[in-house]
């Protein structure tokens, strides 16, 4: 008597739905494995990769761009290793007259493109300076100021070199305020700016966003009388400034500009940029 056996399917003869699911799973796995580990484990970037304004859009959002450049403003850019070798002649031809270049971060990182960026901007005619991305959770302010000055953040009265910038903003590697209380953060910033001035004779510029400054310094007004303000706000106007400052010196207004993403405006004509450079 013949024995009835259940129908046998070839292992690869999936129904259309099963085939689609298999392909979708395979594609998901491919995308995940192609991403850097930082993207798969929550998005924390590697140390050293921070750059000016990297937290602005995420925390403050974007709200348009300012109207055309006024005669009393001067266009600038800020760059880091993310831009690699910068097309400085293109930027110069587009009207950019000043630039800041990331030199250091903490006491563990120097920008490998610093020479091309810092010297390249100078060679096309720009007035340029260097900035330091602060990490108050790793070492004290004075130690980081020394590291900055020793690795490209110095100053000379040549009419083409701007004072160094302390880039103090959201911590991309952890707690927004680097684990510090408001008073602790003010102390850290004071240690940095005092050491920088002792080493160079110049008060450094402070780059920050108003919302971060309020959150992490308690909206301190301790630095407004001496340190020029570089405000970060991606909108049609600068909005509210941190306590004590009645005006800004520079404004980072977008991270999506032509040629180089981060574009800035100096609150004054080119002769005022030269005046800041000369001290």
Cα distance between residue 57 and residue 52, in whole Å: 12
Q: Is there a catalytic annotation at residue 105?
A: no
d(C-alpha 95, C-alpha 91), whole Å: 7
Return the SS3 of 236: coil
User: How many alpha carbons lie under 13 Å from residue 138 in its C-beta half-sphere?
Assistant: 17
- Catalytic member of 60, 78, 146, 262: 78
Nearest to 71 by CA among 256, 266, 276: 266
From 146, 167, 262, 264, the catalytic residue: 167
Active site residue 41: no
What is d(CA 279, CA 275) in angstroms, rounded to the nearest whole number?
6
Rounded to the nearest 5°, which phi and psi values hold at 153?
Answer: -95, 15
Beta carbons of 102 and 152 less than 8 angstroms apart: no
Which of 51, 145, 50 has the alpha carbon at shortest distance from 100?
51
Q: Which of 146, 169, 262, 264 is catalytic?
A: 169
H or E segment to which residue 98 belongs: strand 98-105
To the query of whether residue 78 is one of the catalytic residues in this protein, the response is yes
Q: Are 87 and 259 in contact (CB under 8 A)?
A: yes
> Are the C-beta atoms of residues 76 and 98 closer than 8 Å to each other?
yes
Strands 263-266 and 74-79: antiparallel
Torsion of CA 240, 195, 125, 268, to 10 degrees: 30
The catalytic residue positions are: 78, 167, 169
């Amino acid at each position: 008597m013949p024995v009835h056996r259940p129908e046998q399917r070839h292992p690869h003869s999936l129904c259309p739905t099963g085939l689609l699911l298999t392909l979708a799973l395979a594609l998901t796995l491919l995308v995940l494995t192609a991403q850097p580990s930082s993207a798969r484990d929550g998005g924390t970037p590697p140390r050293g990769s921070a750059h000016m304004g990297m937290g602005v859009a995420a925390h403050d959002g974007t709200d348009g761009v300012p109207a055309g450049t006024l005669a009393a403003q001067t266009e600038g850019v800020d760059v880091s290793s993310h831009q690699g070798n910068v097309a400085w002649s293109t930027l110069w031809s587009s009207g950019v007259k000043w630039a800041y270049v990331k030199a250091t971060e903490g006491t563990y990182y120097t920008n490998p493109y610093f020479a091309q960026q810092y010297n390249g901007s100078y060679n096309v005619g720009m007035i340029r300076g260097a900035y330091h991305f602060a990490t108050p959770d790793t070492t004290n302010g004075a130690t980081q100021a020394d590291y900055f000055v020793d690795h490209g953040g110095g100053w000379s009265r040549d009419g083409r070199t701007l004072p160094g910038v302390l880039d103090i903003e959201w911590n991309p590697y952890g707690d927004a305020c680097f684990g510090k209380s408001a008073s602790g953060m003010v102390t850290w910033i004071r240690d940095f700016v005092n050491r920088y001035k002792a080493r160079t004779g110049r008060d450094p510029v402070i780059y920050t966003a108003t919302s971060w400054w309020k959150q992490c310094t308690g909206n301190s007004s301790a630095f407004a009388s001496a340190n020029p303000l570089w405000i970060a706000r991606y909108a049609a106007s600068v909005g509210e400034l941190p306590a004590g400052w009645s005006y800004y010196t520079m404004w980072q207004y977008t991270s999506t500009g032509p040629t180089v993403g981060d574009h800035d405006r100096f609150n004054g004509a080119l002769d005022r940029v030269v005046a800041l450079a000369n001290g």
